[in-house]
A and B are shown apart, each in its own frame.
Chain A
Amino acid sequence: MTVVKLDRRPAPGAAQVVPKLEARGITKFYRRDDEKLPVLENFSLSVADLEFLVLLGPSGCGKSTLLRIIDGIEPCDAGHIILDGKDVTGTTGAGRGMVFQGFELFPWRTVLGNVAFGLEVAGVGAKERTGIARDYIDLVGLSGFENSYPHELSGGMQQRVGIARALAIDPTVLLMDEPYGALDVQTRELLQDELLNIWERQRKTVVFVTHSIEEALYLADRIVVMSPRPGRIEQIIHVPFARPRRDEIKSTREFLDLRRDIWQSLKRGAHV
């Protein structure tokens, strides 16, 4: 494991002492017939409070599975998820909000109904949740579309709804599973900037899954490069770029060098 020490955050050591979120010895098998295929084996990771962590890797490296285990919607065969010092393995909520890859909006609900969903199932009253949902719809720039149905919106707009839906329950940890994987490049870059804007204002811990090196470098404080079968950490990279970040950094020497490093590390992992 190579650790590139290029630190922007003042005290990552201190943050490691009291991690916001921890995966401890996570093991997950997929069962096909009588065969057990390991997706993750004894995988451990900790995320500092307010950190923007990106899990980067090729498909099949278990990054999405890990995220779903962290969220509690997928069971694991061994290991623990510790959030704020409490064991939350196999349970959902407790400050986690998830944004899904295929948007996964409810087609029978309007934008407002989708964003208010989490508050609704949590028993927040109609008037209050509508007010909160409107605020978050405004935050993602969809004012005026409250009463539209998902099928009336573009992919980018649908994922903005997905983000507002996750933010509406005011999570302390935002889990994002390749949220822009289904979008075209322009929309993706627009949404990346919007996400950084929101993150800088809302102050949340983010765990973001992607297979795009550029996306990882542009967004992350720290990138965990994973390699497949079973998923393991190939390399951890502390991303040095100052915030707020702008598009121009993508053409800097440092960015391109890091991109090449990561690409090589991914290739190494793939050949194992």
Chain B
Amino acid sequence: MTARLQRLALPCLGFAALLLIWEVAGRSLGPALLAPPSIVAIQFVELLRQGEMLRELSASLRQMAIGFIAACLVGMPLGVAMGRSQVADAIFRPWVSMFVVTSTAALIPLFILFLGTGLMLRVTIVFLASVWYITLTTYNGARGISPQQVAVARSFSASRLQIFWKVILPALYPYLLTGARIGLVHAIRAMVLAEMFVIIGYGGLVHRSGLSLDTAPLLSLLITLMIVSLALNWLLGAAGRRLAPWYEQQRVGA
């Protein structure tokens, strides 16, 4: 009971302390530099009521989803191929290693030249920002699949195709899910970043708010984005647990 109380109480306490510090700092600095949470809360409700914030966010997220799903569709098979085939590993790993360390922000000006400022730009940036994380997580999972479990399947005379569908894929499942969750975080960040460059969608809204003399709307937008990102990430995790009840007990990296 006390352990449970601690688990709940301590994060709440930390959260309350943060709000308190923010409130004190905000009141002394003024809303032009840092709006205190009491003012941001009012602004937040106002922005929710106006509806533009959520409208823009949902439109942006829909476009983000295209890039993110494409990244999953490319990254997951690529990661499996690299993890299970030395040839694929040798061909693709240098590229993946290079791209994963490249700043997405630095690529945006280049891609504006190629793709303009429309849907294709945002989808491409989101794709490039998330696909490598999805690939690498899947790759590590595919490399780490227990040879013993593959041996069990072979012992029962499973074909290569059966081994893939009945052993490798299920064994990869936790990694696919983790890859998707890491990828999603990067996808949402990249979405806002790309939109800020071309001042469109939710990122555009953030950009415009940043120019005003009141930080309350900007902070409201950031908090909304944070909540939605966390919620999507949690949703993906919950969906994963529902699909695979054994997942929680599986240690990624085992």
Contact = CB atoms under 8 A, between A and B. Distances in A.
Interface of A: 68, 71-73, 92-93, 96-98, 100, 102, 104, 106-109, 117-118, 120-122, 149-151, 169
A160 to B, nearest CB: 16
Contacts of A121: 153, 156-159, 162, 166
A98 B151 CA distance: 10
A191 to B, nearest CB: 19
B245 A149 contact: yes
Interface of B: 146, 148-149, 151-159, 162, 166-167, 170-171, 173, 244-246, 249-250
> Counting chain A CB atoms within 10 Å of each CB, which of B152, B167, B244, B246 scores highest?
B152
Contacts of A122: 156-157
Contacts of B157: 92-93, 121-122
B177 to A, nearest CB: 12
Most central of B162, B170, B246 by chain A CB within 10 Å: B246
A151 B159 contact: no
Nearest to B250: A107
Nearest to A94: B157
Contacts of A96: 155
Nearest to A98: B155
A169 B156 contact: yes
A169 B152 CA distance: 13
Main secondary structure of the interface of A (DSSP, over half): loop
Contacts of B156: 92-93, 117-118, 121-122, 169
Nearest to A107: B246
A73 B170 contact: no
Contact of A106 (B159, B162, B170, B244): B170
Given A108-B244, A108-B246, A149-B246, A100 B152 contact: yes
Contacts of B153: 117, 121
B165 to A, nearest CB: 10
A107 B249 contact: yes
Nearest to B157: A93
22 contacts: A68-B151, A71-B155, A73-B155, A92-B156, A98-B155, A100-B148, A104-B152, A106-B149, A106-B152, A106-B170, A108-B170, A108-B173, A108-B244, A117-B153, A118-B156, A120-B166, A121-B157, A121-B159, A121-B166, A122-B156, A149-B246, A150-B246
Given A121-B153, A121-B156, A151-B249, A102 B170 contact: no
A82 B159 CA distance: 22
Contact of B246 (A100, A151, A169): A151
Contacts of A104: 146, 148-149, 151-152
Contacts of B170: 106, 108-109
Nearest to A120: B166
Contacts of B151: 68, 73, 100, 104
A263 B139 CA distance: 47
Given A96-B155, A104-B151, A169-B156, 16 more contacts: A68-B151, A92-B154, A97-B155, A100-B148, A102-B148, A104-B149, A106-B149, A106-B170, A108-B246, A117-B156, A117-B166, A121-B153, A121-B158, A121-B162, A149-B249, A151-B250
A169 B162 CA distance: 17
Nearest to B254: A107
